[in-house]
Amino acid sequence: MRFLHTADLHLGAVPDIGKPWSSQRAAAVQSSLPRLLQAAEERQVDLILIAGDLFHRQPLRRELKELNYRFSKLSRARVVLIAGNHDYISESSPYQDYPWAENVTFLSSPSLASAYFADLETEVHGLSYHRPEIREPLLNGVKAPSDGRIHILLAHGGDAQHIPFRPSGFAGAGFRYVALGHIHQPQVFQEIPAAYPGSPEPLDRTDTGPRGYIVGEITQKKTRLDWVPLSTVQYADLKVQTDESFTTAKILDTIRPILKQHPQFLYRLCLAGPRDPEITFDRDLLEAAGQIVEIQDRTEPAFDLEALSRDHANDLIGYYIRSLSADLDDPIRRKALYYGLLALHSAENR
């Protein structure tokens, strides 16, 4: 029995709002579903498991209709899905009574239910969210019957507000696979076996690294799992170590070859190190290089405290340095010292 497992597609999400590439990112999130279905088609899997948060928010009826049409065109795969905390089944949700195609099973019950596929000798268990938070550990101690069938569990959550459980808690519970959802970072627990596939497209600048889905095969003896990349872009950190020679243009010269080499990457630019006290880096110019989602400027003005203190032994600057330089490991004191010195400096220059 072969399957494709995905979760947390968050259809309808718009990443990087305000950036020039935001609409492109939104389109990539939207197209992750047809791309996953195409992968399922090419691999001719038997089951597609969707472990919650298919939609970013409450889906509209027409969205379910589009989705259902795509599902209905699959030549082989059957689809099993549950609702997560984002697309939970509210009282007015079209999920309530949607007439799904024959090959689609929506495990919509708020308590554990299952669907059996006789030709695959496989039973898939799961429950759906009917509210955005479930603090009860609803899946603790759940066990698969030992009846010779292949049992699979769909489980969305794993933190305090969303059905607290630990993947390791499912070890020895008799499931041949636990298809997890909710955590956007992909994680495979081969020994259980279980996996969070992660969202197929990164949804946020903190979703660093590649994104994709899980394909698996369950044979009499074992469950084989593979994580397959799918995402069109990748968020990554880009650290630039500065020294006193750095200007905005020098930073641009440093990062441009890297941006060019990885056009599919979007970066959080982190500047760290000393800088010329007279220089402040121009964020607008840096962002204009493109592919920069965020700038963290952790550079510190390179004051020569000893020399300054010596040259200003009898004035305010010297007094200020001496009073604040006692504990420079404290980042707040250090900041206060630097900001104060910058202010005193500019006052002196005037």
Nearer to Mn ion by Cβ, of 78 and 182: the residue is 182
| Burial status of residue 306 (CB atoms within 10 A of its CB: 0-12, 13-18, 19 or more) | exposed
Shortest gap between Cβ of 202 and Mn ion (angstroms)?
A: 15
Question: Is 182 a residue that touches Mn ion (CB under 5 A)?
Answer: yes
Q: How many residues bind Mn ion (CB under 5 A)?
A: 4
Asked if 87 interacts with Mn ion (CB under 5 A), we say: no
Our CB check for Mn ion shows the closer of 162 and 176 to be 162
Task: Please select the residue that binds Mn ion; options are 85, 93, 128, 291, rule is CB under 5 A.
Answer: 85
Residues in the chain: 350
Tokens of 291: 């592919």
Site string for Mn ion, 42-71 (x = CB under 5 A): -----------x------------------
- What residues numbered 191-230 form the site for Mn ion, per CB under 5 A? none
Residue 84 within binding range of Mn ion, rule CB under 5 A: yes
Could you tell me if 186 and 195 are in contact, meaning their C-beta atoms sit under 8 angstroms apart?
Answer: yes
Cβ atoms of 167 and 194 within 8 Å: the answer is: yes
Distance CA 199, CA 344 (A): 50
Stretch that binds Mn ion, among 27-35, 182-190, 214-222, 298-306 (CB under 5 A): 182-190
Nearest distance in Å: CB 182, Mn ion: 4
Q: Which is nearer to Mn ion, 53 or 123 (CB)?
A: 53
Tell me the CB-side half-sphere exposure of residue 188, using CA atoms within 13 A: 15
In degrees to the nearest 10, what's the CA dihedral of 313, 318, 322, 328? Answer: -130
- The answer to whether 165 and 154 are in contact (CB under 8 A) is no
**Stretch of 79-87, 134-142, 163-171, 268-276 contacting Mn ion, by CB under 5 A:** 79-87
Residue nearer to Mn ion on the CB measure, 132 or 229: 132
Q: Point out the residue whose Cβ comes nearest to Mn ion.
A: 182
* Sheet architecture: strand order including 150-156: 113-117, 122-126, 150-156, 177-181, 194-196, 187-189
- For 137, the token pair is 């550990």
**DSSP letter at 315?**
S
Cα gap 295→283, rounded to integer Å: 7
Residues 88-147 close enough to bind Mn ion by CB under 5 A: none
Cα–Cα distances (Å) from 273 to 187, 300, 321, 348, in that order, read 34, 6, 20, 25
**Nearest to Mn ion of 1, 154 (CB atom):** 154
Which residue's CB is nearer to Mn ion, number 176 or number 184? Answer: 184
The span of 31-39, 78-86, 224-232, 339-347 binding Mn ion (CB under 5 A) equals 78-86
The residues of the shown chain that bind Mn ion, judged by CB under 5 A, are: 53, 84-85, 182
